[in-house]
Each structure stands twice: as C-alpha cells, then as structure tokens.
Amino acid sequence: MYAVLNKMAKGITVCYSEVFPNQDNDFFHCAYIGKLFLISDSYCMNPDCLCEEAVLHFVQVYPREERKADSFMVSYKLNGRGYKIHDYGSFSKREIQAIMMHFTIDDTIVNLLNERYKEMKEKAKEILG
C-alpha cells in the first residue's frame, strides 16, 4: 500500500486494480471498428474531494503484431457531464469521441465506474483512518 499512499499524498489518481488486485475485472475491454482496447480506470483518493471523475486510459492492443501500444487518456465525469481529453496519443478528437460514445453507451459500465469510484473513496477513508 506504500505506493498508493505515496500517490494519495501527491494527489495523483490511483488505478483501481492497484488497490483491488487479482479480480476478474481488472481491466475493461472495448472493441471499436476492428480496434481492440484495454481500459484501466484510476480515481482520485482524496476523501474530501467531490470530483466524481474516473480517469480512463485506453490502450490499443495489437494481438498479432509487435507494435508499440498506442493510447489515449480522458477524465470521465461520473455524473454524466461528459469527459475531458488529457492525452490524444495518435488518435483524432473525432475518433476518441466515437470510441467514448461506444464505450459509455452501456449503462452497466457507467454504473460499474460509479461503484468503483465509491469503493476507492471508502478505501481512502479506511487508509487514512
């Protein structure tokens, strides 16, 4: 937990799978027009902060090629107020918009992100005890 504490102290978001490892659902998947993405979700662990954001890191995976992974990063508003792009990688704004729409069209994913946000805040309170 030292790495997590360190990030908390610095105000850096922490990856869900770092706090709750070895679960079946460490990462999300998303396939979009022949492109396959693994998505990690990170959260702010300041118990007093009400940002209601999940930082989503989309990493494109190439199953058959040994290409360098390409990725983009957004902070997604869990109250449904959209998202902000922090890193485009080599993706266009339009492409990211289409992928985000595809990914968040499923309520179960958005609900799960909300649950994980709450779990992370609870864990932060527990750690700071």
By the 10 Å C-beta count (0-12 exposed, 13-18 middle, 19+ buried), 72 is classed as buried
- Rg of the chain over all Cα atoms, to the nearest angstrom: 15
Which residue from 51, 61, 98, 112 is in contact with Zn ion, where contact means CB under 5 A? 51
Residue 50 and residue 82: Cα distance in Å, rounded? 16
State yes or no: residue 12 binds Zn ion (CB under 5 A): no
State yes or no: residue 52 binds Zn ion (CB under 5 A): no
Report 26-45 residues binding Zn ion (CB under 5 A).
44
Q: How far is the CB of 85 from Zn ion (least distance, A)?
A: 18
Residue 14 and residue 128: Cα distance in Å, rounded? 15
Which residue from 49, 69, 101, 128 is in contact with Zn ion, where contact means CB under 5 A? 49
State yes or no: residue 124 binds Zn ion (CB under 5 A): no
Binding site for Zn ion (CB under 5 A): 44, 49, 51
